[in-house]
Copies of this chain bind each other. A is one copy, B any other.
Amino acid sequence: MLDISLLGTGGMMPMPERFLSSMILRYNGRLILTDCGEGTQVSLKKLGWGFKSIDAIFFTHYHADHISGLPGMFHAIANAGRTEPLKLIGPKGLVYVVEGLRRIAAELTYEIEYIELDDENNEIFIDGLKISAINAIHSVKCMSYKYEVIRKGKFDPQKAIKLGIPKNMWSLLQKGLQVDVEGKIYTENDVLGPARKGIKVTFATDTRPFDELAQFAENSDLFICEGMYGENEKKDKAEENRHMLFSEAANLAKSADVKELWLTHYSPALSKPEEYFENAHGIFENTVLGYDGITKTIRFE
């Protein structure tokens, strides 16, 4: 199972009840953060998942509302006693931006590992999750991310028997080791049934909608997508600022045939997203208005 929470659902400026963009995933007790706007550490403290197990922080881009909470987060992670390296991952520019911010977070208890993604280098495995990136359409270089729990098939005793693998070797295969049966080498892959459905979460913010994003998010269990503006009349503004309407996010969710849509990254002017809920819900039924602290557990089918 995979736990997900939105730590901040605001765009541009934090509000008293709405901090800036941030999402956290928990898988097997390890934490992966995506974006870290001002207030993220406060929301994470409320959530209670701790700071020490954050192994990686992904950034969609480097506008301040997505990264201004990083210096404080660095200190919070250090105060929690982390000594293992922390991975930072994002589009080009990562090192330049973060090294600037580190002027107020120079001395930490752990190393920082930078990974800058690009068109060739857009897949990474962390804590048992496969994370893929695609370029978004924003005013600056920006990426959308997909987080997948890839689930292997079950061990199939019939296959093992057919291949003549002795029973006392099965547990070795199940542990991922290879076995030698009369000079023939077998691995786990030889004895697994068909792959089982895993879990897929897609996170897209600060982008216009585009076809490839719908393909990228296809069949996600959860699609977390920006909805900067609720009103359909703000289409021109959304196009100009490279953001989305609620209705555009809902259309993406529909095209991608996802299970559930969470809206996030609301404009500071959008004080009551619920007033425009129908603009998304009318297009995609399983729409949820994200809010700071919204949490969900996705279990394997």
Contacts and interface: CB of A to CB of B under 8 A. Distances in A.
A40 to B, nearest CB: 9
A101 interface: yes
Interface string A90-129: 0000001101111111000000000000000000000000
Which of A12, A13, A63, A68 is the most central at the interface, judged by chain B CB atoms within 10 Å of its CB?
A68
A42 B68 contact: no
Contact of A103 (B39, B74, B97): B97
Nearest to A40: B38
Contacts of A96: 103
Nearest to A98: B103
Nearest to A66: B104
Contacts of A67: 104
A75 B12 contact: yes
A16 B45 contact: yes
Interface in A1-22: 12-16, 19-20
A168 B12 CA distance: 56
A77 B16 CA distance: 17
A269 B101 CA distance: 26
A55 B82 CA distance: 40
25 contacts: A13-B41, A13-B45, A13-B72, A13-B75, A14-B41, A14-B42, A14-B72, A15-B45, A16-B46, A20-B72, A38-B38, A38-B39, A38-B41, A62-B103, A64-B74, A64-B75, A64-B104, A64-B105, A65-B75, A97-B103, A99-B100, A100-B100, A100-B103, A100-B104, A101-B101
| A-B CB proximity, top 9 nearest | A100-B103, A100-B100, A64-B104, A38-B72, A64-B71, A68-B71, A68-B72, A97-B103, A14-B42
